[in-house]
Amino acid sequence: MDSSAWFKAGQLFLRQNMGSGRIPAFWILLTGSNGTMTIRTRFAPSPTGYLHVGGVRTALFSWLFARKHGGVFVLRIEDTDLKRSTAESVNAILEGMTWIGLEYDEGPFYQTKRFDRYEVVIEEMLEKGLAYRCDCSRERLDELRDQAMKAKEKPRYDGRCRSRQVDPGSPHVVRFRNPDEGDVVVDDMVRGRVVFSNEELDDLIIRRTDGSPTYNFTVVVDDSDMAITHVVRGDDHLNNTPRQINIMQALGMEPPRYAHLPMILGSDGARLSKRHGAVSVMQYMEDGYLPEALINYLVRLGWSHGDQEVFTKEEMIQLFDIEDVNKAPSAFNHDKLLWLNQHYIKEGDPLHIAHLLSPHMGRLGIDPTQGVSLVEVVKAQRERSRTLVEMAENSRFIYQDFEEFDPTAAKKHLRPVAKEPLERMKQALENQTDWTREALHSLVEAVSADLGVNMGKVAQPLRVAVVGRAASPGIDETLYLVGREACLRRIDKALEFIRHREATA
């Protein structure tokens, strides 16, 4: 079989067996006869809550690295924490990835469906002496910890069971036999060279008493089986990396390259959390942010390309370099995100914005099919809306009659002097057959000229009558969007308001 056939066979094998545990540890997917390695990255969230914006940034950088190098982006759900993992959290992850637009090429793979594979590897490690059973009691382990703390030393297991024969039928954990000497060198693509001494690492538990595998072990098996070549993740995982490398090397696996991203901080310098505002990606959707705005903002948290602020996805892929990511943490700036969101609302395709606006209108009890097209609404409101929630709320008047006039606007503009302009406008609108913006603008101008007043003396009372407040798009746009019947009905309401005001003066 020639080399080309070998490569094709390898690709087919990997596609058919991905996540099954049948892929040899040495398998690296190759793209063709030139022998170049296919970059394979992964995003591996734990489904124990919402999808955090920090997790989305990690997924984004991992996705960009794969896309830039023509690679493969894998989604893996690390759900081995059976007590905290929930189906709702899994759905939140999948929904968030879909909304934000980070399409994955393979997966989602679930660790809970791979327990048999983990058990096979653990048994192999026990047979080869790479791991051992430990039945040390919780009380003994607590005592070791207390002694270390009193001596101001890092708590670590003392290896008591390394040389003991523990009954497999008794309650026990399985520990990895970590090397006693030497260093683990992590050539990190963000942080640079980081060295860990094996003397600082203890014998990690890889299987709990209940038989379930632990995080650091399952990650090793998964990354090898799924042929992950580059791991992009938060720097809170940096201390896990030497443990994982040691397990990989003991098993004869080739460790991936690592890139540990600095954390995201709130405005007060503390780690970003709920007290700083929304941190769930789906909360940003609920709050009326566009996915492209959030993605654009997150890519600039720790990475930059000169002074450029706005990037298309294509530009991100072309320009992004993981080695240009800053080592220092970045502070989340909600005002900057709001600015970007307004930019995308103003500059985006009105049809796309209308599609995203629709559910926000629905939450207000508005059926957008019962009135003017949402695309027209977007065109009218995009210059004055920072979020889709604002746009929906500010556009309520187009589809729904309001209960009351804004008191300040009514006091200023719905005075007895406004009665005649409103009556004249009502009569003109009743007879208007051409309901276009241009024709309506000319109509307001004509009534103003006929009354001998400037256009504002007619337009502002009319605006308050039709909208209920003093702010809206241009008067011609406003009349066009609201429609004839609603305009006439609301002008009647304004005239009644003025008459009542006169009677009680």
* Separate counts of helices (H) and strands (E) for the chain: 21, 12
Distance of CA 31 to the CA centre of its chain: 31
Structure tokens that stand for 316 in this block: 């991100």
3-state secondary structure of 73: strand
Structure tokens that stand for 122 in this block: 């653990």
Structure tokens that stand for 363 in this block: 């939450």
Residue 429, judged by CB atoms within 10 A of its CB (0-12, 13-18, 19+), counts as: buried
Q: Indicate the DSSP class of residue 39.
A: P
3-state secondary structure of 61: helix
Q: Indicate the DSSP class of residue 112.
A: G
Report yes or no: 278 and 266 within 8 Å, Cβ to Cβ: no
**Whose structure tokens read 């959707």?**
285
Annotated active-site residue 274? The verdict is: yes
Cα 313 to Cα 132: distance, rounded to the nearest angstrom:
49
**Whose structure tokens read 């469906």?**
113
From 113, 274, 346, 411, the catalytic residue: 274
Phi (first) and psi of residue 33, to 5 degrees: -70, -15
Active site members: 274
